[in-house]
C-alpha cells in the first residue's frame, strides 16, 4: 500500500519521516498525472505545489486554521490530503469540483476561482478572530500572478495596519499565472528570486540557527518569547535582502524559500505561525514540476488541460478550430490594416486569442495582469487619444470591471470593443466560471451595443463592425469550444437575419441569441413539420433591441426568445419591454438561465434542464401556441 492511500486526514502527515514525505510527494505527482489526464483540469499549478501543500498541512491545523487558496485551481493536492481521492469524475457533475468547495469538505474555506481575493478573506477572518478572542489562524496561499490584481494590494494595505494581528501570507511564486507574470510590482520578486543561492541559503541557515537558539534560551519552545522575537526580527532583516515591497509596508518577510524543500518550508511556516503578527513567507516553486511534458511547455506549463495521453502529454483528441481561433485570426488581420487597434488582456494572452497579434505587433498588445478594472479604464484613456482598444476577457471576469465599463467607458462614449470569450454556460469549472451575467449587465449600460454571433463567419463580420463603431463602446460575446457549422440566413433584413421561414404569416417567431440559433432552427423546422407557420430570426446585434425587430415581433402572435445568459434582465426581458412600449399584445416566452449559481456539469446538460435544447424549445413553443390559439 502506498503512503497516499493511508492519508485520509492531515493529522496523518505529522507522523511521516522525511523519506516517507519524499515518497508521498512522488506518489501525489503520479496520481495527478494519471487522473487529471483522464478528465482534464488544472495540472501544472498542482504539480508545482505538492511539497508546499504537504508542509502547510504539517504545520497548520486545518480546518481549525483557515487555509485559503488563491486561486482555487491550486487546491488538488489539498483535496487529496483531506480525504478526497476519487478524481474519476473531477469537474464532472456529481464529482469533485475543480476548485475548493464548502459542500465537499470543512477544510475548504473559499469557493474561489477568481484571483486576488484570498488576502481580503484572510484579513476578514483575522479581524473576526480578534473580535471573538479566537486562536484560529488564517493562512492565505496566493500565487504571484494574483499579486497583479488590485484587491491584493488593497488588502495588504489594511493587513499591514495591524502589526499585532496574526495572519500568514504564503506567496507561491512560480513566475506565472497562465503565462509568465507581468508588471512592475512582481518584477521586484525577481530580484529576490534571482539572488545567489549560496548567499540566500547561508542567510537562511544563520537566521534559523539564531532563532532556534533564542527559543531554547527563552525556555518556551513553540512560543515566541521576547528573546526569540528579537532574534526573528533581526533574522528577517538578514534574509529578505530586497523584499522592499513588503518591508515598506512593515510586513515581516521570510524567504525566499525553496518551495520544493520540505524542511525549509516547514521551518519558515512555523516561524510565521508563531510570530504573532502578519508575516509573508515567500516560496519559490516550479509550475508543472516533475512532469516532463509540462516542464517543456513554455506557453503555460500545462496550466489547464483537456484529456491527454499521460506518457506524452499529447491531447487524446486534437482540438477543433474554435471560436477563440477565429477572433485570433481576425484581430491579427485587422491590426495589419489599422494602426489604431490595440489589444488588451488580463493575464490571458493566448487563452483569449491575442497571441498572434502580440507576435506581429508586440508594442500594440498590453497584458495588464489580473487587473480587469485597470484594463477597462486604461482602454478609455487609449480611446481618448484616438486608438481603438480591443479588450479580450473571459465573460465571467467582466463582472470585476462593471463600474469601469459603466463610468469610465460608456459614460465617456469611448470607442472600446470588448471581446468576451467563454460567454454563457461553460459547465465544467462551475458557478464562478459560467459567463452568464454579461447580457443582463450589458442591458443596463447606456450606449453599449452588444453582438452575439451564431457561427464563425458572423464572428468575423460582427467584430469588424464593432471596431468600426466610433461613437461608443461595443461588446461581442461567444461561447467556449469548437465552432458550430456555418448557418446562413435565408434573407437579411435591417436589424436581423431570417434563418427559417415556413410561412409568410407565421404564428410563431423564435428569436435566437448567438449560437442558440442552431437549436432554434431545428426546433423551428420541427414545429413547421407539425403544420405551424414558424419564423426563426437572429438579431446579430442583440442589445439594444432593434426597432425593426421589435415591430416584427409586435405583429407576431407568439414569440419565444432563447439566450445563453441570465433570463432575468437579459435580451428577452429587453424585448418584452420594447413590445410593452409598442402596446403589443404578443405572448412571449423567454428561455434562459435562472438566477442561480450552477454547479459544475456539462454545458449540454445545463442547457437541456433550462429548456434550451431542441426538445425543450419545441415543448415551450407548443405550450405557448396551445394557449394562444
Q: How far is CA 60 from each of CA 159, 193, 580, 622, rounded to the nearest angstrom?
A: 20, 25, 60, 59
pLDDT, mean of residues 543-552? 96
| Whole-angstrom distance, CA of residue 413 vs CA of residue 449 | 11
pLDDT of 550 reads 96
DSSP 363: G
Range(s) for CATH 3.40.50.920 in the chain?
Answer: 491-628
pLDDT digits (tens, 9 = 90+) for 404-448: 999 999 999 999 999 999 998 887 787 778 888 999 999 999 999
Distance spanning both ends of the chain, measured CA to CA: 69
Q: Which of 400, 458, 477, 535 is catalytic?
A: 400
On the 0-12 / 13-18 / 19+ scale of CB atoms within 10 A, 294 is buried
| Whole-angstrom distance, CA of residue 204 vs CA of residue 240 | 9
Question: Within 10 A of 557 (CB to CB), how many other CB atoms are there?
Answer: 17
Structure-block grid coordinates of residue 452:
452575439
Beta bridge partners of 475: 418, 450
**Fold category of 323-477 in CATH:** Rossmann fold (3.40.50)
Q: How far is CA 404 from each of CA 414, 473, 555, rounded to the nearest angstrom?
A: 12, 12, 39
- pLDDT score of 197 more than 50: no
CATH number for the domain running over 4-195+241-284: 3.40.50.970
Question: Within 10 A of 205 (CB to CB), how many other CB atoms are there?
Answer: 12
- Strands annotated E in 441-527: 449-451, 474-477, 491-493, 496-501, 508-512
Residues shown for the chain: 629
β 388-394/341-345 pair status: parallel
Structure-block grid coordinates of residue 268:
519558515
Q: Which of 248-252, 369-373, 580-584, 621-625 has the lowest mean pLDDT?
A: 248-252
Question: Within 10 A of 8 (CB to CB), how many other CB atoms are there?
Answer: 12
Q: Which of 51, 264, 266, 372 is catalytic?
A: 372
DSSP 516: G
Range(s) for CATH 3.40.50.970 in the chain?
Answer: 4-195+241-284, 323-477
pLDDT of 284 reads 92
pTM assigned to the model: 0.84
570 touches 511 (CB < 8 A)? no
287 counts as catalytic: yes
Closest residue by Cα to residue 523 from 453, 595, 614 = 614
DSSP 476: E
| Whole-angstrom distance, CA of residue 379 vs CA of residue 370 | 15
Instruction: Give the confidence band of 174 by pLDDT, cuts at 50, 70, 90.
Output: confident
pLDDT of 194 reads 52
pLDDT digits (tens, 9 = 90+) for 91-135: 888 888 888 999 899 999 988 767 888 999 999 999 999 999 999
pLDDT of 99 reads 87
Q: Which of 240-254, 412-426, 524-538 has the lowest mean pLDDT?
A: 240-254
Q: Which of 12-26, 211-225, 406-420 has the lowest mean pLDDT?
A: 211-225
Q: What is the DSSP string of 392-454?
A: EEEGGGGGGGHHIIIIIIITTT---EEEEESBB---TT-TTT-B-SHHHHHHTSTT-EEE--S
DSSP 41: B
pLDDT, mean of residues 56-62? 96
400 counts as catalytic: yes
Q: Which of 56-60, 309-313, 504-508 has the lowest mean pLDDT?
A: 309-313
pLDDT of 469 reads 97
Instruction: Give the confidence band of 245 by pLDDT, cuts at 50, 70, 90.
Output: confident
- pLDDT score of 175 more than 80: no
| Whole-angstrom distance, CA of residue 307 vs CA of residue 294 | 14
334 touches 428 (CB < 8 A)? no
* Highest mean pLDDT pick, 197-211, 302-316, 508-522: 508-522
What is the percentage of the chain residues whose pLDDT exceeds 90? 65
Q: Which of 58, 79, 287, 540 is catalytic?
A: 287
Domain 491-628: CATH class, spelled out: alpha beta
Please name the helix (run of DSSP H) or strand (run of DSSP E) that holds residue 354, with its range, or none.
Answer: none
pLDDT of 428 reads 78
413 counts as catalytic: no
Amino acid at each position: 500500500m502506498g503512503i497516499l492511500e493511508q492519508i485520509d486526514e492531515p493529522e496523518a502527515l505529522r507522523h511521516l519521516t522525511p523519506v516517507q514525505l519524499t515518497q508521498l510527494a512522488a506518489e501525489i505527482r503520479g496520481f495527478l498525472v494519471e487522473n487529471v489526464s483522464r478528465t482534464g483540469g488544472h495540472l501544472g499549478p498542482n504539480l508545482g505545489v505538492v511539497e508546499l501543500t504537504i508542509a502547510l498541512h504539517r504545520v497548520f491545523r486545518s480546518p481549525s486554521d483557515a487555509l485559503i487558496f488563491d486561486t482555487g485551481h491550486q487546491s488538488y493536492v489539498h483535496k487529496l490530503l483531506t480525504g478526497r481521492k476519487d478524481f474519476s469524475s473531477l469537474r464532472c457533475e456529481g464529482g469533485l469540483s475543480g476548485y475548493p468547495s464548502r459542500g465537499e469538505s470543512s477544510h475548504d474555506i473559499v469557493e474561489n476561482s477568481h484571483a486576488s481575493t484570498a488576502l481580503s478573506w484572510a484579513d476578514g477572518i483575522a479581524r473576526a478572530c480578534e473580535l471573538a478572542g479566537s486562536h484560529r489562524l488564517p493562512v492565505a496561499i496566493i500565487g504571484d500572478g494574483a499579486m497583479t490584481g488590485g484587491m491584493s494590494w488593497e488588502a495588504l494595505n489594511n493587513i499591514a495596519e495591524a502589526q499585532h494581528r496574526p495572519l500568514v501570507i504564503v506567496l507561491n511564486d512560480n513566475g506565472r499565472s497562465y503565462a509568465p507574470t507581468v508588471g512592475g510590482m512582481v518584477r521586484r520578486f525577481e530580484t529576490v528570486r534571482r539572488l545567489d543561492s549560496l548567499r540566500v541559503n547561508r542567510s537562511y541557515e544563520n537566521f534559523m540557527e539564531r532563532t532556534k537558539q533564542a527559543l531554547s534560551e527563552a525556555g518556551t519552545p513553540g512560543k515566541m518569547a521576547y528573546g526569540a522575537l528579537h532574534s526573528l526580527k533581526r533574522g528577517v532583516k538578514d534574509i529578505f535582502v530586497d523584499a522592499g515591497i513588503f518591508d515598506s509596508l512593515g510586513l515581516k518577510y521570510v524567504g525566499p524559500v525553496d518551495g520544493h524543500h520540505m524542511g525549509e518550508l516547514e521551518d519558515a511556516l512555523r516561524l510565521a505561525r508563531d510570530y504573532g503578527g502578519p508575516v509573508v513567507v515567500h516560496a519559490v516553486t516550479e509550475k508543472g514540476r516533475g512532469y516532463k511534458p509540462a516542464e517543456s511547455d513554455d506557453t503555460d506549463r500545462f496550466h489547464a488541460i483537456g484529456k491527454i495521453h499521460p506518457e506524452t502529454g499529447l491531447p487524446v483528441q486534437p482540438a477543433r478550430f474554435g471560436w477563440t481561433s477565429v477572433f485570433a485570426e481576425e484581430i491579427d488581420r485587422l491590426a495589419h490594416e489599422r494602426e489604431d487597434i490595440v489589444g488588451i488582456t488580463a493575464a490571458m494572452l493566448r487563452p483569449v486569442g491575442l497571441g498572434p497579434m502580440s507576435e506581429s505587433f508586440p508594442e500594440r498588445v498590453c497584458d495588464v495582469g489580473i487587473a480587469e478594472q485597470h484594463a477597462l479604464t486604461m482602454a478609455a484613456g487609449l480611446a481618448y487619444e484616438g486608438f481603438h482598444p480591443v479588450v479580450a476577457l473571459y465573460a465571467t471576469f467582466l463582472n470585476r470591471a462593471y463600474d469601469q465599463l459603466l463610468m469610465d467607458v460608456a459614460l465617456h462614449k469611448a470607442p472600446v470593443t470588448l471581446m468576451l470569450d467563454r460567454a454563457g454556460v461553460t459547465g465544467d469549472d462551475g458557478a464562478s466560471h459560467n459567463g452568464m451575467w454579461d447580457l443582463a449587465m450589458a442591458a443596463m449600460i447606456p450606449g453599449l451595443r452588444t453582438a452575439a454571433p451564431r457561427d464563425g463567419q458572423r464572428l468575423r463580420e460582427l467584430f469588424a463592425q464593432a471596431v468600426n463603431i466610433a461613437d461608443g463602446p461595443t461588446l461581442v460575446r461567444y461561447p467556449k469550444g469548437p465552432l458550430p457549422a456555418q448557418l446562413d440566413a435565408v434573407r437579411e433584413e435591417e436589424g436581423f437575419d431570417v434563418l427559417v421561414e415556413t410561412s409568410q404569416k407565421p404564428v410563431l417567431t423564435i428569436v435566437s441569441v448567438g449560437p442558440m440559433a442552431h437549436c432554434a432552427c431545428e426546433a423551428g423546422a420541427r414545429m413547421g413539420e407539425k403544420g405551424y407557420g414558424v419564423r426563426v430570426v437572429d438579431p446579430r446585434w442583440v442589445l439594444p433591441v432593434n426597432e425593426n425587430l421589435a415591430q416584427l415581433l409586435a405583429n407576431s402572435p407568439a414569440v419565444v426568445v432563447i439566450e445563453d445568459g441570465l433570463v432575468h434582465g437579459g435580451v428577452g426581458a429587453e424585448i418584452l419591454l420594447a413590445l410593452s412600449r409598442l402596446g403589443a399584445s404578443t405572448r412571449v416566452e423567454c428561455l434562459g438561465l435562472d438566477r442561480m449559481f450552477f454547479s459544475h456539469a456539462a454545458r449540454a446538460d445545463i442547457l437541456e434542464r433550462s429548456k434550451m435544447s431542441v426538445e425543450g424549445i419545441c415543448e415551450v413553443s407548443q405550450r405557448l401556441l396551445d394557449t394562444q390559439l
